Amino acid sequence: MTENSKDIQLQYQGFNKTPLLWENDAIFQLNQFKITSENDLQYCSLSKPEIRLGKRVEQFCFFKFQQDPQIEILLENLQIQDKKRTVGEIDCILKKNNQPIHVELIYKFYLYDSTVGNSEIEHWIGPNRRDSLFLKLTKLKNKQLPLLNNSFTKPYLKTLQIPIEKIQQSVFFKAQLFVPLEDLKKTFPIINNDCIYGFYISYNKLHQFDNCKFYIPTKVNWLKEIQTNIKWITYSKFHSKIMEFVNQKSAPLCWVKFPNGTFQKFFVIWWE
């Protein structure tokens, strides 16, 4: 493998090992699509180079589905058009054991902020506070899944020769979650706690880790599990790089290596 294809493989492995954010239909009555194949096959080619994180995850999903002998993918990324206007996009329609299912694909990074909203679901927000789990679930429930029954979608589905009423709907929603440092041992009743990957901390509190080593992966490599055989940087270099993110009001995902040899993923936030 070239270095690039090795990175892609590690990204796929990280994606593959990320748990579903909840079980069955525990949240918003959105049913999680279950897949029995837990393969860790080599994935080292993308349809387009430099593909962004969201589209990369979609390709990983399709590859994972293709490995399951019970699944047949009927269509991917179907753009629904009204003449020149894009009405929306259906991520995937497949058959599992001959049952047609519309599946929306989601992979997110959320931070727990108890000052936002009034419920556990509302407390999970994007690293830069521009999105949230609640908003995403609402969009899925009210816009993305209902697109299947939109009048502009019907002509596309006719080509599949499947009656709309026979198509079930699911989501394939994976996430990495991060909590305040003091809440790392806390248990959350609604979400899958296996999705908690680490903590987050404000840039002005980083000094408590001045005896640690650090690494800042690029965004597509946020998917990866922590790699230990890398060029770790000192606190002073790390702090200098972090301030560049802070000045741009951007919260990066980072890796920390503690003096005792343990590792952790974490976000450095600019907004607290």
Structure confidence by residue, pLDDT tens digits, 221-237: 999 999 999 999 999 99
- The mean per-residue pLDDT over the stretch 49-69 comes to 90
Give the pLDDT score at 1. Answer: 42
Same domain, 21 and 85: yes
Return phi, psi of residue 211, to 5°.
Answer: -100, 15
Q: Rounded to an integer, what distance in angstroms lies between the CA atom of residue 6 and that of residue 20?
A: 25
85 part of a folded domain: yes
Q: Is residue 191 part of a domain?
A: no
d(CA 20, CA 26): 12
Tokens of 269: 């936030």
Q: Which pLDDT value is given to residue 2?
A: 44
Task: Place 162 in a pLDDT band, splitting at 50, 70 and 90.
Answer: confident
Q: What is the pLDDT of residue 3?
A: 47
Is residue 38 pLDDT above 70, yes or no? no
Binned at pLDDT 50, 70 and 90, residue 94 comes out as very high
Measured from the Cβ of residue 84, the count of other Cβ atoms closer than 10 Å reads 5
Give the pLDDT score at 77: 94
Mean pLDDT, to the nearest integer, of 78-92?
A: 92
Q: Are residues 9 and 48 in the same domain?
A: yes
Count of domains forming the chain: 2
Residues above pLDDT 90, as percent of the chain: 84
- Structural domain boundaries, residue 145: 3-186
Are residues 163 and 213 part of one domain?
no
What is the mean pLDDT of the segment spanning 183-211? 97
Measured CA to CA in angstroms, residue 206 lies from 12, 201, 241, 247 at distances of 30, 7, 13, 16
Q: Look at strands 196-202 and 263-269 and give their pairing.
A: parallel
Q: Do residue 138 and residue 159 come from a single domain? A: yes
Q: Regarding predicted confidence, which is higher, 29 or 160?
A: 29
Q: Is 223 exposed, middle or buried (0-12, 13-18, 19+ CB in 10 A)?
A: buried
- Assigned domain for 192 exists: no
Residue 152 sits in the same domain as residue 244: no
Q: Are 265 and 176 in contact (CB under 8 A)?
A: yes
Mean predicted lDDT score pLDDT of the chain: 93
| Alpha-carbon gap, residue 30 to 106, rounded angstroms | 12
Q: Which of 132, 164, 186 is the last residue of a domain?
A: 186
Residue with tokens 């290596």: 257
- pLDDT grade for 19, boundaries at 50, 70 and 90: very high
Helix axes 3-17, 53-66, angle to 10 degrees: 70
The residue among 158, 186, 214 that closes a domain is 186
The least confident of 2-16, 135-149, 184-198, 237-251 is 2-16
Question: Can you read off the two tokens belonging to residue 209?
Answer: 């880790």
Asked which of 157, 186, 215 is the last residue of a domain, the reply is 186
The answer to whether residue 37 sits within a structural domain is yes
Q: Is residue 222 part of a domain?
A: yes
